[in-house]
Amino acid sequence: QNQRRWIDLDKPLKKQLDKYALEPTVFFGVVFYVPSVSQLQQEITRYQYYLQLKKDILEGNIPCTFEQAIHLAGLAVQADFGDYDQYESQEFLQRFALFPVGWLQDEKMLEEATQKVALLHQKYRGLTPPDAEMLYMQEIERMEGYGEETYPAKDSQGSDIFIGACLDGIFVKHKNGRPPVIFRWHDIANMTHNKSFFALELANKEETIQFQTEDMETAKYVWRMCVARHKFYRLNKCSLDSP
């Protein structure tokens, strides 16, 4: 089973690959998402962030509606290829990944969607690639799933769930369709791991919420990533609040 795992930059890469990977593929990615893309000050940072969000959309990590996918694809085409050229037919766009993987299986629907993207591309004439990238990112930062990373686990009743970190805190998503639960960063006093368990100690309720992961290594990894995100968002909030 292919699983992604963030490299610990404080430890030797070879040691981590030997321990966790069979046929590893190492790639660059964004670990920490910002509340607003307007906070990204460097052009190269904004470009790399745009590439990450586009990857999140195309791989289906951030769910989107048909209309959102068309709109985002139109902006991406303008960002990646510049102004529409009347000699660039719809066949030109069909050579590129415009929509989330496995999203449109029907050829007729795919053709219709690509045609709509071509019309949007024409409409965006004059929009510079950096501006198109910014509009693309601003659209995504408002979408559900933005900045989330999930891990499979079980709750105290033994039900299968996904836990993960986002900009607001630690969330729990149930597979049975129940509404997600979020424990906000300011409500979390501490996070711990013990054997295969990852736990949240809540500040005001004097309560500990436990989740069981696949094994001890997974619990430690989930703990490490959630602690890192907690630190990042806490520091980020301080920098935003300071005059």
Average pLDDT over residues 130-144: 96
**Cβ–Cβ under 8 Å, residues 184 and 172:** no
The pTM assigned to this predicted structure is 0.87
131 and 185 assigned to the same domain: no
Lowest mean pLDDT of 124-133, 153-162, 231-240, name the range.
Answer: 231-240
Last residue of a domain, one of 98, 115, 141: 141
Residue 15 lies in a domain: no
225 and 158 assigned to the same domain: yes
52 and 112 assigned to the same domain: yes
Q: What's residue 62's pLDDT?
A: 94
CA distances to 1, 61, 127 from 143, rounded to whole Å, are: 29, 11, 23
134 and 155 assigned to the same domain: no
Confidence of residue 162 (pLDDT cuts 50, 70, 90): very high
Average pLDDT over residues 129-146: 96
181 and 97 assigned to the same domain: no
Q: Residue type for 75, please?
A: L
41 and 106 assigned to the same domain: yes
Q: Exposed, middle or buried by CB within 10 Å (0-12, 13-18, 19+), for 86?
A: exposed
Average pLDDT over residues 78-107: 78
Last residue of a domain, one of 122, 141, 160: 141
How does the average pLDDT of the chain come out, rounded?
89
Confidence of residue 128 (pLDDT cuts 50, 70, 90): very high
117 and 177 assigned to the same domain: no
pLDDT over 90, % of the chain: 60
101 and 58 assigned to the same domain: yes
Confidence of residue 1 (pLDDT cuts 50, 70, 90): low
Residue 243 lies in a domain: no
49 and 137 assigned to the same domain: yes
* pLDDT at residue 220 greater than cutoff 50: yes
Residue 156 lies in a domain: yes
CB proximity list for 176: less than 8 A, separation 6 or greater: 159
Residue 11 lies in a domain: no
* pLDDT at residue 240 greater than cutoff 60: no
Q: What's residue 85's pLDDT?
A: 73
**Cβ–Cβ under 8 Å, residues 170 and 200:** yes
83 and 159 assigned to the same domain: no
**Cβ–Cβ under 8 Å, residues 162 and 153:** yes
Q: How many domains does the chain have?
A: 2
* pLDDT at residue 170 greater than cutoff 50: yes
Q: What's residue 239's pLDDT?
A: 52
113 and 201 assigned to the same domain: no
* pLDDT at residue 210 greater than cutoff 90: yes
Instruction: Return the CATH number at 213.
Output: 2.30.29.30
Residue 19 lies in a domain: no
Last residue of a domain, one of 141, 160, 184: 141
Q: What's residue 24's pLDDT?
A: 84
Q: What's residue 36's pLDDT?
A: 92
168 and 218 assigned to the same domain: yes
Residue 73 lies in a domain: yes
Instruction: Return the CATH number at 64.
Output: 1.20.80.10
Q: Which domain holds residue 66?
A: 37-141
For the stretch 18-69, pLDDT in tens is 888 888 888 889 999 999 999 999 999 999 999 999 999 999 999 999 999 9
CB proximity list for 13: less than 8 A, separation 6 or greater: 7, 26
